[in-house]
């Protein structure tokens, strides 16, 4: 079973958090789920650099990476990940979806209304506690 280190951006603008919806995947249990944008860390890549790179690739957006928020280890049926989530800011909320189906800017208390990927759920829960 493969294991990947993955980064996720909790992008906050005007007290709202950017949430993005995945498209279809070869693994049905992550298809169409909501997540925080990000992606896989390449070999010998620093997490903050990987996060900035992934956000440019996925959203054509520049972010400011702040603090590590939560590290989650999660085992899906076909692979495992260590998800490193970071609090981030953006100068402007403008972006372009290049890989995701949909997006929402939500307040912390609204996050639970989405169908989240399992690895992202602990991040959502902690964000909602820190209102």
Question: Domains, the chain, ranges and CATH?
Answer: 2-129 (3.90.79.10)
pLDDT of residue 130: 80
Asked whether the beta carbons of 55 and 86 are under 8 A apart, the reply is no
Q: Tens digit of pLDDT per residue, the chain (131 long)?
A: 899 999 999 999 999 999 999 999 999 999 999 999 999 999 999 999 999 999 999 999 999 999 999 999 999 999 999 999 999 999 889 999 999 999 999 999 999 999 999 999 999 999 999 86
CA distance 1 to 75: 10
How is residue 101 written in tokens?
């189906």
Q: Report whether 97 contacts 20 (CB < 8 A).
A: yes
DSSP structure string for the chain? -EEEEEEEEEEEETTEEEEEE----SSTTTTT-EE-SEEEPPTT--HHHHHHHHHHHHH---EEEEEEEEEEEEE-SSEEEEEEEEEEEES------SS-SEEEEE-GGGGGGS-B-GGGHHHHHHHHHT-
Q: What is the dihedral of CA 48, 91, 85, 109, to 10 degrees?
A: 170
At 131 the pLDDT is 63
């Amino acid at each position: 079973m493969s294991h990947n280190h993955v980064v996720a951006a909790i992008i906050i603008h005007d007290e709202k958090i950017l949430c993005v919806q995945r498209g279809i995947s070869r693994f049905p249990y992550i298809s169409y789920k909501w997540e925080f944008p990000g992606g896989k860390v390449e070999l010998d890549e620093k997490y903050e650099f990987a996060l900035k790179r992934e956000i440019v690739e996925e959203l054509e957006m520049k972010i400011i990476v702040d603090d590590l928020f939560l590290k989650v280890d999660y085992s899906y049926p076909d692979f495992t990940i260590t998800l490193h989530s970071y609090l981030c800011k953006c100068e402007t909320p403008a972006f372009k979806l290049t890989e995701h189906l949909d997006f929402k800017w939500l307040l912390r208390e609204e996050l639970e209304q989405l169908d989240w990927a399992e690895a992202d759920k602990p991040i959502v829960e902690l964000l909602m506690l820190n209102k």
